[in-house]
Amino acid sequence: MLLVLFDIDGTLLRGAAREHALALRVALHEVYGVGDPGGAEEGLPRVQAAGRTDIEIARETMLLCGRSAKAFDDGREELAEVCVREYARLAPDDLSDRVVPGVAQLLGELERGEGVRLALVTGNLEAVARLKLSRAGIGRHFERGQGGFGSDSEDRTDLPPLARARAGSEGRPHPRTRTVVVGDTPRDIACARADGVRCVAVTTGPYGADDLRAADAVARSAGELGELLAELGRPRMTRL
């Protein structure tokens, strides 16, 4: 069984992070009193978000605003709750137009095929991730109780081993040799490398092929991704 761990933003969806980022900024104001109550970007430091967890982004923002780590941690649970609430309010009911071309078909094919299990590894809070994919019409492909999320750990590198543990059996995590991370940023590649699993990068996000060359393979479309996953799923390709 090949465990395929999908990132969301830039990999499965494009443009769905807009309302998500807005919800996080609204939550930062409500919980910590920074920035604009409406979530405008003005007044907050710019923080690189691609490939990072929600909580890591929020922490760096607060530290740059002069808040202490303790002050941030004291409000962390409330921050997550408000972010989820605001995302549910701000996101369109239908996000199907944000699905990367070919992804819906690919997920269906992978799910119907033998020897593949789908899960998520994303910096999104789990409740945000589930709502985002549900409104995009592709959430049914990802089983609850599986994957790794930004609400599980602030450190993205913790997520692949957590996802493998949840997908394991008889007290053993799913094997590294039968796991692949699919993502669109160098941080997706780094989290795969930290766990010793393979990574297929896609150029559907903000990075081009040259930026993603540290991956085991790079796909420029959902069709190419399907072909690469088929190759990686063959037993002869993964015996050590």
SS3 of 30-64: HHHCCCCCCCCCCCCCCCCCCCCCHHHHHHHHHHH
Tokens of 174: 């799913």
Q: Which of 90, 123, 141 is the last residue in one of the domains?
A: 90
Does the structure show a pLDDT above 60 at 117?
A: yes
Tokens representing 202 are 């896609």
- Give the model's confidence band at 43: pLDDT under 50 very low, under 70 low, under 90 confident, else very high: confident
- What letter does residue 9 receive in the DSSP assignment? B
Amino acid at residue number 61: T
Distances from the Cα of 159 to the Cαs of 78, 105, 130, 138, 172, in angstroms?
22, 26, 16, 21, 16
The answer for residues whose C-beta is within 8 angstroms of residue 1's C-beta and 6 or more apart is: 115, 116, 117, 174, 178
CA 35/CA 53 separation, integer angstroms: 20
In sequence order, the β-bridge partners of residue 117 are 3
Over residues 147-161, mean pLDDT? 97
AA letter at 95: L
CA distance 136 to 16: 9
Domain check: are 79 and 99 in the same one? Answer: no
**How many whole angstroms separate alpha carbon 88 and alpha carbon 128?**
8
Q: Of 47, 71, 90, which residue is a domain's last?
A: 90
For the cut 70, the answer to whether the pLDDT of residue 135 exceeds it is yes
Q: Domain range spanning residue 32?
A: 17-90
% pLDDT > 90, the chain: 87
Answer yes or no: are the C-beta atoms of 148 and 162 closer than 8 Å.
yes
The mean per-residue pLDDT over the stretch 61-69 comes to 95
CATH code of 163's domain:
3.40.50.1000
| Domain boundary pick from 36, 63, 90 | 90
Eight-class DSSP state of 41: S
- DSSP labels for 149-200? -TTT-SSGGGHHHHHHHHH-BTTBPPPGGGEEEEESSHHHHHHHHHHT-EEE
> Is residue 240 pLDDT above 70, yes or no?
no
In terms of domains, do 220 and 121 share one? yes
- Shortest CA distance to 118 belongs to which of 141, 144, 90, 99? 141
Looking at the structure, tell me whether residues 117 and 211 fall in a common domain.
yes
Domain count along the chain: 2
Cβ pair 33, 72 in contact under 8 A:
no
- 42: pLDDT confidence band, cut at 50, 70 and 90? confident
Do both 120 and 153 map to the same domain? yes
Q: Are residues 201 and 108 in the same domain?
A: yes
175-189: pLDDT as tens digits: 999 999 999 999 999
- Together in a domain, 168 and 59: no
Does the structure show a pLDDT above 80 at 235?
A: no
